[in-house]
Structure 1
Amino acid sequence: MYGDGLSVIICCYNSACRLPATLKHLAGQQLSAGTAWEVIVVDNASTDETAETAKAEWEKYGIPGVSFQVVAEEKPGLSHAREKGIRASVFRLVVFCDDDNWLSEDYLQIAYTAMSGDPAIAAVGGQSTAAADIPLPDWFEASKNNYAVGRQAEQSGDISWRKHLWGSGLVIRKDLYNKAFSNFPSMLTGRNGKVLSSGEDSEICMRFLLMGYRLHYLEALTFKHFIAADRLRCDYNTKLMEGFIRAHEVLRIYARFIDAPGLPPKDRFPATLRSLIKVLAARLTGTRRWNIFDEKLQIFMLTGYPFKSIPPQIRSIRRLSVHRKKHRLNDC
């Protein structure tokens, strides 16, 4: 059992220069009496004074009753850092606050109220505005989603159809995260130092959807995303896009597993048969007319036939999907 409250996890890699403003906004949170919370800073193989800065800054505010700790995760990668933070947390709700996210003063209270009201919601996300020390470049408006800036939907509510929420300011249920990843290791590690890989946020959300839960957007959840000048260059934006493209190959498989149950029963056999014919035809004739892996994946999703070419990670996705009923609301 986990305590009733929120654990704010800040994953850091060389964040000494960004943490003071982030912690200042966290220290200004306004919560109703009795709403418990804590702050956990995860130092993910930093080479600067991230840990020392975090401790010194938080001590300035002296907030009674709020636990603060810095934990170290030497294995690089955002997913590793988040796992370390979650293991160190004690409350049932987890808030991922990036080291450059300035949460509005009511952020935690709104998140707590929303998640407490509907156990079918696995995760909620909000909207952000950009903050920077230099004028935003002309191209930024068209690329702001790459930076988790803007609105995630037209209005508040269920956005499970979108299949993901931003990791910035993401609020999740700890028990669902543990069920989603304890026996099914992550296929994506996220940003690793200066390597801008992506997709770990979407992977979390997609696993929740596979388990039968929902994603919600709340426009009342607001924060500022501070973007340093060196991240407002075209080459940095290009690297972000390249990271998204690399992650897409994995995430599209998740999406297919999420959508597979929506295929009407009467269409399942014909779909399986069509894919099987293509696989057999390719084996007999050597044709490369079709993407045979995709056809085998289709058969695997619909029937579970264990093709040797299906990697163990993808098999784990199906196992998670098959067991979704075990993770439904009666487990909350």
Structure 2
Amino acid sequence: MPTTQRPAAAVAPEIAVSIVICTYRRPELLGACLDSLIGQQVGGASSGSAHEILVIDNSALAEGRPVVESRQAAFALRGVPLRHVLETGPGVSSARNRGVAEAVGELIVFIDDDERACDGWLERLLEPFHRLGDAVDIVAGEVEPDFGALPRPDWLADDMMHSFSCRWGWDSDSRFLREGEWFGEGNCAFRKRLMAGRSFSTDLGRKGDGLLTNEGMVFMEMRSAGAATYYVPSATVFHLIHPDRLNRRWLMRRMFYQGVSNRLTQRRYGLREQRWDFNVNLAKLADIDVETLEGEPLRAFIRLYYQLGYASALAMN
């Protein structure tokens, strides 16, 4: 009597990569970010490998949940698990730590909720891990500004883009980063094992509309301990420059808090602190309309506000 063979049960692919998106009260931007990830592929790995997407929602109102739920079916058709995780600890550092804890993959990828990935982004970002193996620990991509429906302001020069977390511009070709060359947390991939015994500092990262930064100091720790970092300019994301930031006053505030953040970071990790000799007449400073500045006078004010923030941090705990 002939026997009937049952079809072999489908084997769920192994999750090799976890994409983590930290979000806070920006459902429309989160939706655009997720839409840019549909169709992204791991590439290079074995056919049994896959990726997952974790949305870490840092708002108690969980505005990101319906955005995730509305797209889960589309990702499921492509074999990509998409999960919403609520993290009530305030700040992006708490969200990043939760993302690391929830991640299944040995490789973790960060992309921010106000960014959109270019076609082929994930495959390009992961390619150095496949090609160079253990010689690579961290991979960083490039960030291009997206001004939305607004034109780029005439005063906003290319060398000011770093203040908006855009255009690192280290090279036109892929290569290892050198000491002193940095990258943003919003477009990078790294081996999860590097986070053993480490975490993102919850008192240094962004919280709500605050501008304290440097939660990415953990990557500097990794690199100081020998983690090799590779730069891939073609692994590009587009970062929305929010309309309320397209003015010089926001830029001055941003640079002031960058100065505060840098000094607090240096003190925390026992790094050498900088010293400047400068005198400022605050009354005259307040009378200057920074919105009229451009070129070298604007650059001088950017440096001054950074130094003021750096000096102010001396009185902070």
TM-score, L = length of structure 1:
0.69
Q: Pick which of 216-225 and 28-37 moved more.
A: 28-37
Q: Is the 8 A contact 1:124 1:215 kept in 2?
A: yes
Q: Is the 8 A contact 1:42 1:70 kept in 2?
A: yes
* Alignment correspondent of 1:244: 258
Query: Which residue identity does 1:83 align to in structure 2?
Result: N
Segments of 5+ residues of structure 1 without an aligned counterpart are 259-289, 291-332
* Alignment correspondent of 2:155: 139
* Alignment correspondent of 2:292: none
Q: Compute the displacement of 1:153 (Å).
A: 0.6
- Sequence identity of aligned pairs in percent? 25
Pair 1:52 & 2:60 matched = no
TM-score, L = length of structure 2:
0.72
* Alignment correspondent of 1:113: 127
Q: Which has the higher helix share?
A: 1
In 2, Cα distance between equivalents of 1:66 and 1:4: 9
* Alignment correspondent of 2:210: 195
In 2, Cα distance between equivalents of 1:238 and 1:222: 27
Segments of 5+ residues of structure 2 without an aligned counterpart are 1-13, 276-317
* Alignment correspondent of 2:304: none
In 2, Cα distance between equivalents of 1:43 and 1:187: 16
Q: Number of aligned residue pairs: give it.
A: 254
Q: 1:231 to 1:174 in 2, by over 3 A?
A: same
Query: Which residue identity does 1:135 align to in structure 2?
Result: P
* Alignment correspondent of 2:138: 123
Q: Compute the displacement of 1:112 (Å).
A: 2.1
Q: Compute the displacement of 1:46 (Å).
A: 4.9
In 2, Cα distance between equivalents of 1:173 and 1:114: 12
Pair 1:230 & 2:244 matched = yes
In 1, Cα distance between equivalents of 2:21 and 2:69: 13
1:21-49 superposed Cα distances (whole Å, 9 cap, x missing partner): 11110113144444410100011025462
Q: Is the 8 A contact 1:6 1:112 kept in 2?
A: no
Pair 1:80 & 2:94 matched = yes
Q: Compute the displacement of 1:104 (Å).
A: 1.7
Query: Which residue identity does 1:150 align to in structure 2?
Result: R
Q: Compute the displacement of 1:227 (Å).
A: 2.0
Q: Is the 8 A contact 1:5 1:93 kept in 2?
A: yes
> SS state of the match for residue 17, structure 1?
helix
Q: Is the 8 A contact 2:138 2:191 kept in 1?
A: yes
Q: 1:61 to 1:109 in 2, by over 3 A?
A: same
Pair 1:161 & 2:179 matched = yes
In 2, Cα distance between equivalents of 1:210 and 1:138: 38
Equivalent of 2:226 in 192, 212, 215: 212
In 2, Cα distance between equivalents of 1:257 and 1:83: 24
> SS state of the match for residue 128, structure 1?
strand
> SS state of the match for residue 140, structure 1?
coil
* Alignment correspondent of 1:27: 38
* Alignment correspondent of 1:174: 192
Query: Which residue identity does 1:19 align to in structure 2?
Result: L
Equivalent of 1:14 in 19, 25, 40: 25
Q: 1:149 to 1:172 in 2, by over 3 A?
A: same
Q: 1:34 to 1:146 in 2, by over 3 A?
A: farther
In 2, Cα distance between equivalents of 1:240 and 1:59: 39
The alignment yields a C-alpha RMSD, in angstroms, of 2.6
